[in-house]
Amino acid sequence: MLRGMCLWLLAAMVLAPVARAEDGYRLWLRYDALSAQRAGAVAQRAASITGPDRPSAVVASAISELQRGLGGMLAREIPAGTQISAGTVILANPSVQARLGIDLPLSDLGAEGYLLRSMTLDGKPVTVVAANGDAGLLYGAFALLEHIQRGLPIDEMNMRSAPKLQLRVLDHWDNLDGSVERGYAGQSIWNWWTLPEHVDPRLVDYARANASIGINGAVLNNVNASALSLTPRYIAKAAAIADTLRPWGMKVYLSARFSAPIELGGLDTADPLDPEVAAWWKAKADEIYASIPDFGGFLVKANSEGQPGPQDYHRSHAEGANMLAAAVAPHGGIVMWRAFVYSAEDATDRAKQAYAEFKPLDGTFADNVLLQVKNGPIDFQPREPFHPLFGAMPETPLMMEFQITKEYLGQATHLVYLGPLWEEVLEADTRRHGEGATVAKVIEGRYGAHKLTGMAGVANIGDDRDWTGSTFNQANWFAFGRMAWNPQSSARNIAVEWAELTFGPRDDVTRTVLDMMMTSREAVVNYMTPLGLAHQMATGHHYGPGPWVSDLGRPEWNPAYYNRADKDGIGFDRTASGSNAIAQYAPPVAKEFGDLAAVPDRDLLWFHHLAWDYRMRSGETLWQSLLDHYQTGVEQVQAMERQWQSLKGDIDPRRFAKTADFLRIQEKEAKWWRDASVLYWESVSGKRAPEGYPEPAHDLDYYKALRFPNAPGH
């Protein structure tokens, strides 16, 4: 016992400098050495590993992760073999259970669910990770390690979990030149130039991180796709990535450029009903599957923002999607067809276009097609009402698309935890199938006989050492995985899990970090787009405010298009007297949004154009309420700065300093948003902020003249 204690202390001393030099690379998989008392308790239940006689590559990954994690936390080598002794972790698929005489209830866990249970087997205390399939054993192994990292009891475990969505996919907007569209964490991690001969070992850590939160797929290239990604050269590169991710339960997908038959195949057309075009895609699919047998399928952006698509040939989105679906169907592949469409030729409210194009196509898509719909009807704004397509297409599986990268929310530097944003959308009641038909239940497939369900997240990952550009951006990657596993998850509970794994299970630290995270999204809404305003960012790079921009070639590119501010008022009238976008929602929802006495303040200016002196339910005028929100947002950031400073000494120096620096940037830019926005509203309304309101640092012309030609990510 004494020798073991000395070894533990020696290992802790060796590991201590590593902990002090924490740089964020390990994400939430830190596996630092436990206290002697905690290590002793864990070792009684988890000190060795056994599993299937001939473990698959995925089960081998589970074993290696348990050895890594338990080895780090117990500061010892963890043996894996066939023997069962006191403290063995048993990876038990049905055949292992039968061999050991264990009968655990797995019938409702599917292929990816897992069960964790503390048991006594032949008088020996053991921990069982049970599952029907290899992926379940992998996810269960990570769940066990998380349980231990968070300091939770290991001797009375009885946990079970299974994903509610089948496809849990990261969409990488990575370009073949190594840049990342809307990426704020460096260059692409794929390193296309050296593939396939050299695969960066970092990709294994990427796969481990995804497996730990249940993500089972990655789209490797930008939705604004290059046809080159479908050439033999790049298929070989994608195959090398697939070989690296496969042992961690992940499939790869590719974004397909719809005009590739012309650009690569020499055809005169990409018409989806042309037999030569269909034959070209079938041959291309066969070629890909020859190199990547478990290739997931295609993601397609078509007839949006200038991308080619079936409408170029007077064909429908369904006809385009179904042609591609037929090409991958023999291999078990799928097509994720994006519903993000808007056209310069359509003069109606941009918020209405996706619904208008796709709702009439309900029931016409092939059964291996998912329609991938953004959470709101515009474009990943700090706040939008839920997309009206959710619940409106019962014969079509709809796949949620969230943006993990913060294109419109302060990019890399602003601390914005997106869990509350996503939870707000997923909890929204569509009322399409009676009360309680939430968006979460819609995408879970509860209201249609769909064989496919899923959620996609636009990745925030790059080659920065800390993966996402900042420590708190990691929380959004983590939260996406959790909500893709279970769309009814609590954003608050996820934040607690992440904080304990990322900074250690210390109650005082967790409480402070949790309060910062749960405040952060509302803060950014307040200082950027309060009371239902949207798309007020400067155009192109979407960095900083630009509510005055009104001279761009397409109306819907202009922030002024969305705020409609003039001397009489502000806001976009989407009621029956305006664009009538509310009619795209179920009648009870439309009634609430259209009624000034019922619409939530948070959606007010999304649906209504109101006078500056409109009296809010609070008794304030709209003008005063706007001013209050902008100032509140600044004050919330200042409060987060103070809270973070209170943790000095409790957080390792490197991560503490970077976050403190970024919070200072966020405070400066929150004030910029407040000052520039208020000055512009003053200029169009004739109103003035009351005496005592913070004086802007500059005049309006100064803010209008700012240019950022080298802003990242665009």
Is 22 tagged catalytic?
Answer: no
Residue 349 confidence (pLDDT)? 93
| Res 625: pLDDT | 98
Under 8 Å between Cβ of 137 and 62 = yes
Q: What's this model's pTM, rounded to 2 decimal places?
A: 0.96
For residue 342, the model assigns a pLDDT of: 85
Instruction: Based on the residue annotation, tell me whether 379 is a catalytic residue of this protein.
Output: yes
407 part of the active site: yes
Question: Residue holding tokens 């079509």?
Answer: 396
pLDDT of residue 532: 98
**Catalytic residue among 305, 508, 613, 661, which?**
305
A 10 A CB-CB count for 584 gives 22
Which string of DSSP letters, residue by residue, matches 291-352? Answer: H-TT--EEEE--SSTT---GGGGT--HHHHHHHHHHHHGGGT-EEEEE-----TT--S-GGG
Assign 362 to helix, strand or coil: coil
Q: Residues 483-502: pLDDT tens digits?
A: 999 999 999 999 999 999 99
Backbone angles phi, psi at 537, to 5 degrees: -75, 150
Q: Of these residues, 146, 271, 319, 379, which one is catalytic?
A: 379
CA distance 338 to 456: 11
pLDDT in tens, 300-313: 999 999 999 999 99
End-to-end CA distance of the chain: 59
Q: Which of 407, 466, 573, 592 is catalytic?
A: 407
User: What pLDDT sits at residue 553?
Assistant: 85
pLDDT < 50 regions, the chain: 1-20
What DSSP letter does each residue of 20-54 carry, written as one string?
HT--STTTT---PPPPHHHHHHHHTT-SEEE--SS
* Residue 634 in tokens: 């600044």
Q: What is the largest CA-CA distance in the chain?
A: 82
Helix axes 471-485, 491-503, angle to 10 degrees: 130
3-class SS of residue 118: strand
pLDDT value at residue 714: 80
Using CA atoms, how far apart are residues 555 and 515, in angstroms rounded to an integer? 39
pLDDT in tens, 78-108: 999 999 999 999 999 999 999 999 999 999 9
Cα→Cα distances 411→185, 468, 470, 524, 637, Å: 9, 11, 10, 11, 15
Per-residue pLDDT reduced to its tens digit, 118-163: 999 999 999 999 999 999 999 999 999 999 999 999 999 999 999 9
Residues pairing with 432 in the sheet: 434
Q: At CA 515, angle to CA 512 and CA 519, rounded to 5?
A: 145
The torsion defined by the Cα of 343, 349, 355 and 359, in degrees rounded to 10, comes to -90
In three-state form (DSSP H/G/I as H, E/B as E, the rest C), the secondary structure along 591-626 is HHHHCCCCCCHHHHHHHCCECCCCECCCCCEHHHHH
pLDDT of residue 344: 65
